[in-house]
Amino acid sequence: DTGVSQDPRHKITKRGQNVTFRCDPISEHNRLYWYRQTLGQGPEFLTYFQNEAQLEKSRLLSDRFSAERPKGSFSTLEIQRTEQGDSAMYLCASSSTGQSSYEQYFGPGTRLTVT
Amino acid sequence: GEDVEQSLFLSVREGDSSVINCTYTDSSSTYLYWYKQEPGAGLQLLTYIFSNMDMKQDQRLTVLLNKKDKHLSLRIADTQTGDSAIYFCADSYSSASKIIFGSGTRLSIRP
C-alpha cells in the first residue's frame, strides 16, 4: 500500500490555460475527495466520489472545474481557463466504506501556480 | 453554517506539554479530527474522537471533547522538535461526508 498519490506535484501555468491533475487513491478505497488549500488556510472541500459516482460538489467548484472518476479508481480534476485566484494546493483524499470509513487519508497535493 | 476555529500560533518549550484548542459550530458533528501538516508534506491524520466520547489517549496525544461547549483540544506531552508543524482541527457529520477544517495552529518549539 503506497498511499494516495497525486501527479503532478507542481504545475505552473499561464492564465487562461487548462490544467488537469490526477489522483490515485489507496487501492480498494472507493471514496475519493478533492480539497483545495490556499496559503494560511485549512483545506476546503471541493467534491466527493463514491466509486464512479460524483455524490457531492461544493459551490466553490465553479463551471470551470470538472472532476471525473470514470472507472472508480483514479480521478482527474480539470480546471479550464485558469485564473490567478485558482493558485492553490489541490489535495486528494481517499477512504474506505468499511470499519474505518471516517478516516480520510490525504495525498501530497498538487501545487498550482497561475501566472 | 459549519465553522471550525482555532488559534493561529502556539510556542512551547521543548519537553513541555502543548495544548491546542479548537471550537466548532456544527452540533451534528460526529467525528472530530486532528491532522498534522509539516512543511512541504501532505496532511497526516494524527488522531480522531467520536462525538460520544469525552477523551481519547494515544501515546503522547490526549484529545478532550466538551460537546456541550463544542470545544476540542489536543494535548501533546513532552513536546519535541519533531512536533513542529501546523495542526488542523476538523469535523464531519458522517463517515462519508466532507471534512470541515479550521485554519490551523502553527506549533513552534523553543529550545
Identify which of A102, A107, A109 has the shortest CB distance to residue B95. Answer: A102
The model's confidence at residue B95, banded by pLDDT at 50, 70 and 90, is low
Q: Nearest chain A Cα to B45, which residue?
A: A105
At A57, which amino acid appears? Answer: K
A79 touches chain B (CB under 8 A): no
Cell 492553490 locates to A88
Give A96 or B23, the one with higher predicted confidence. B23
Interface contact A115, partner B, CB < 8 A: no
pLDDT tens, A30-87?
999 999 999 989 999 999 999 999 999 998 888 999 999 998 899 999 999 999 999 9
Provide the pLDDT confidence category of residue A96 given band limits of 50, 70 and 90.
Answer: confident
Question: How many angstroms separate the CA atoms of B88 and A64, rounded?
Answer: 29
Answer yes or no: is pLDDT of A94 > 90: yes
Residue B1 pLDDT: 55
Longest dimension (CA), chain B: 42
Contacts of B88 in chain A (CB under 8 A): 42-43
Does B45 sit within 8 Å of A103, measured CB to CB?
yes
CA distance B39 to A25: 22
DSSP letters for A26-58: PTT--EEEEEEE-TTS--EEEEEEETTEEEEE-
**pLDDT, mean over chain B:** 92
Chain B positions touching A33 (Cβ under 8 A) are 98-99
Average confidence (pLDDT) over B81-101: 90
Contact A101 B95 (CB under 8 A): yes
Which residues does chain A have within 8 Å of residue B22's beta carbon, measured at their own beta carbons? none
| pLDDT class of A1 with cuts at 50, 70, 90 | low
The per-residue pLDDT for range B10-63, each reduced to its tens digit, is: 999 999 999 999 999 887 888 999 999 998 788 999 999 998 999 999 999 999
Record: contact A102-B92, CB cut-off 8 A: yes
In angstroms, how far is CA B30 from the centroid of its own chain? 15
Looking at residues B89-107, what average pLDDT do you find? 89
Closest chain A CA to residue B9: A40
Q: What's the rounded Cα separation, in Å, for the pair B67 and B57?
A: 17
User: Bigger pLDDT: A1 or A111?
Assistant: A111
Each residue of B58-87: pLDDT tens digit? 999 999 999 999 999 999 999 999 999 999
